[in-house]
Homo-oligomer: A and B are copies of this chain.
Amino acid sequence: MSVEKSTYQTSDTASRIIHAAEKLFAEQGFKETTMRQITSQADVNLAAVNYHFGSKQGLIQSVAQHSLNPLCDAIDAGLDAFNVQQQTPGLDALLQILARALVRVHQRNDYSLAVLMRLLDQAYRPIQQELQGFIRAEYGTRISVFLHYLRQQAMPLSEREFFWRLHFLMGSVIFTLSNMHALIALDQPGAEPDAAAEVEHILQRMVPFICAGMAAPERVEAH
């Protein structure tokens, strides 16, 4: 109808809800955030969430897609850049690709990245099998590609060692980024929260840390 609304723009109400939900989910958690808080913050009717997303769980999934789509797109694009040159990215390059993809997600919305990290954390809980299944079904294949590259670059490691180091890596990323707003505030007390730029710095600090960790020689078990 109106010219301003591009084809990519969904209903204003729906996107307002998404934005409000991202902020509140990131700050408080999913269960801790009520629909009243969301709709109040978005300044829409309480029933609007159910109208647009069916249920609170449906909203959570939409929020997930809102972050996971650009994340996977950015990772794929990063990998493709190497494929074009018929090169295979090394460990550091892979982590840079990941880092840039995460920055890209964060640029969409100040809370998209944090909420995504919280989501991935939740997905490991036994009760959240539905969420886990949703992510696997929608993004499992794409994620596997990246993991395959990573595995190759960590080749001297045994399968099991790789499994655990991958999750040490994920722990650093998920914990740091899901609490990024709190950590940035701790790091720069009183400063204007220019999180937009700060996330890139955080990730640039993280890459050497993880790179070294992944490359560390496997400890010979004594027992």
Contact = CB atoms under 8 A, between A and B. Distances in A.
Label chain A's interface by main secondary structure: helix
Interface in A181-223: 181-183, 186-187, 201-202, 204-219, 221
Interface stretch (A13-21, A104-112, A172-180): A172-180
Given A32-B31, A175-B175, A211 B216 contact: yes
A223 to B, nearest CB: 9
Contacts of A80: none
28 contacts: A27-B127, A28-B126, A28-B127, A29-B31, A121-B179, A124-B179, A124-B182, A124-B183, A125-B179, A126-B182, A160-B187, A163-B187, A164-B176, A164-B202, A167-B176, A167-B183, A168-B209, A174-B175, A204-B219, A204-B221, A205-B219, A208-B216, A208-B217, A209-B213, A210-B213, A211-B216, A212-B216, A213-B216
